Structure 1
Amino acid sequence: MTDLRLVVFDCDGTLVDSQHVIFAALSHAFDGHGMTVPDLDAVRRVVGLGLVEAVETLVPHLDRAAHVTLAESYKNAFGLLRHDPLHAEPLFPGVREALATLADAGYLLGVATGKSRKGLAATLKMHDLTDMFVTLQTADDAPGKPHPGMLENAMRATGARPADTVMVGDTVFDIRMAGNAGTHALGVSWGYHPPHELTAAGARHVLAGYDGLSPWLETLWEPAA
């Protein structure tokens, strides 16, 4: 492969299964403020949004100051829980092999996530994946999904064009961000939003496993006959 190609991954629900530590941290935050903890399904629905936006979606009746306070409590709890072996963020099957295959083929790899830069750095370091990515875009760098800012930053940093960029994610927020940035959108079936919602949001395809990623990308950019 000689042309510049950029593949940008969401983190939570796409690279790592973080739903249990996210739910545990939210539970700590809500309990700490004497509030009813949202159920896991509701929490899964907001994974991928910026933190304050996620809290606002879960408890829309509160004011902005309360949303910010809850978000800070969540961040503090998450920082503590991530060191607890019971609250690990395991890689989904095939992640490491798929990333290595793409890197060997010459693809540029990036991340665009609602995590903070500190949180993303900790996750990638835990799994020894930091050096796999040439651009890391977080909630600290641009407005939250589905705003296109993180993808636009990634393309600007690497020199990739929208037509040469794919966003890989598990939520409609990832897919809509790709649409807003003019890039290709690829869903994954093992995350937090169901495949039919990803397709309806504009995903060109939904992967059943990471072993299908490289073949699909080759088809996407196959030279016209």
Structure 2
Amino acid sequence: MTPRNFDLIAFDWDGTLFDSTAIIARCIQAAVRDVGGKEPTYEEASYVIGMGLMQALAHAAPDVPEALYPQLGDRYRHHYFAIQHEISLFEGVLPLLAELKARGHLLVVATGKSRRGLDEVLGSADLAGVFDASRTADQTAGKPDPLMLNELMAEFDVPPERTLMVGDTTHDLQMALNAGCPSLAVSYGAHDHAVFGALQPLFVAHSVPQMRDWLLAHG
């Protein structure tokens, strides 16, 4: 077994471990339509994935008045919770997480999801005991603010140089930079990997097997 380079690995959730990008984008589009806003394109709806919910919706629907934000959020949750059972982890994620646990890594989640939404998926039998901690956008600051990473590092007393952020969006990678942490990017989620270079990820994985190989060799 190769020595660990990182003691703490923080994973984004949607688009990194969970195959939810397309469904989230469609739910954002539907919520904006429901309140009479101009429907964002798929690309515009995908771009905001990873932000906190209301920050994301406000960005995706700039023509919707602030007074309608509570209704907009309610409509998004209505659409999402109606179909969340259709979403699953990317193939290969569970074995990878088990391998990382066996190597002694601390595994945490740093996500723009709500606490309720994350707890619902983490409550499955397959994920019981896999993650050591998590932070969501509604219990701390949303990405790219580094607060959720800073809190997780403080909880386990792990310095930034021993912490790795894994994510699929520029929000994830910018958060890592803001926290002083290295990052690993994945290209199969919400954002085009062509824009990742300026955010200095150590590697861009184009599939879960590529992410696994890199993490086991360099993590």
TM-score where L is the length of structure 2: 0.89
Query: Match of 1:204?
Result: 202
Check the 8 A contact 1:4/1:160 in 2, yes or no: no
> In structure 1, the residue corresponding to 2:196 is in which secondary structure?
helix
Name which of 187, 190, 198 aligns with 2:188.
190
Q: Distance in 1 between matches of 2:66 and 2:185?
A: 32
Instruction: Tell me if the contact between 2:8 and 2:162 (Cα under 8 Å) persists in the aligned partners.
Output: yes
Does the Cα contact within 8 Å between 1:146 and 1:176 map onto a contact in 2?
yes
Amino acid at match of 2:108: G
**Aligned residue-pair number:** 217
Question: 191-200 or 119-128, which moves further after superposition?
Answer: 119-128
| Aligned counterpart for 1:178 among listed residues 176, 188, 192 | 176
Check the 8 A contact 1:121/1:130 in 2, yes or no: no
The one-letter code of the counterpart of 1:54 is: A
CA contact (8 A) 1:101 1:214 kept: no
CA drift of 1:12 comes to 0.5
SS of residue matched to 1:128: helix
Q: Which moved more, 1:134-143 or 1:106-115?
A: 134-143
Tell me if 1:155 matches 2:153.
yes
Structure 2 unaligned spans of 5+: none
Answer yes or no: is the 8 Å Cα contact 2:186–2:211 preserved in 1.
no
What code does the residue aligned with 2:36 have?
G
* Residues 115-162 of structure 1: CA deviation (Å, up to 9, x unaligned): 001101112234721411001110122111000011111111222111
Q: Does residue 144 in structure 1 map to residue 148 in structure 2?
A: no
* 1:62 counterpart letter in structure 2: V
Q: How does 1:60-79 map to 2 (within 5 A)?
A: 60-79=62-81
- Partners of 1:51 and 1:220 in 2: how far apart? 33
For 1:127 and 1:48, the matched residues in 2 are separated by: 25
1:26 maps to a residue whose letter is I
SS at match of 1:29: helix
What is the DSSP-based 3-state SS (H/G/I as helix, E as strand, rest coil) of the residue aligned with 2:204? strand
Q: In terms of mean alpha carbon deviation, does 187-196 or 101-110 score higher? A: 187-196
Q: CA deviation at 1:220?
A: 4.3
TM-score by length of 1: 0.87
In the TM superposition, 1:71-110 aligns within 5 A as 71-83=73-85, 88-110=86-108
Structure 2 CA distance for aligned equivalents of residues 10 and 2 of structure 1:
20
- Alignment CA distance shift 1:66-1:202 (3 Å): farther
Q: Is the 8 A contact 1:52 1:71 kept in 2?
A: yes
Structure 2 contact 100–216 (Cα < 8 Å) conserved: no
Q: Which residue of 1 aligns with 2:10?
A: 8
How far has the Cα of 1:213 moved from its partner? 3.6
For residues 51-99 of structure 1, the C-alpha deviation after alignment (integer angstroms, 9 at most, x for no partner) is 111111112233333234312321233223324xxxx112112111111
Q: Who is 1:34 aligned against? A: 36
> CA separation in 2, counterparts of 1:118 and 1:190?
25
Q: Aligned partners of 2:84, 2:213: CA distance in 1, in Å?
A: 34
Distance 2:203 2:101 in 1: 21
Map of 1:46 onto structure 2: 48
**Segments ≥4 residues shifted beyond 6 Å:** none
- 2:126 aligns to what SS in structure 1? coil
Identical-pair percentage = 36
User: What SS does structure 2 have at the residue aligned with 1:20?
Assistant: helix
Q: Distance in 1 between matches of 2:5 and 2:189?
A: 30
Q: For residue 111 of structure 1, what is the aligned residue in structure 2? A: 109
Sort the Cα spacing of 1:68 and 1:16 in 2 relative to 1 into closer, same or farther, 3 A.
same
SS at match of 1:11: coil
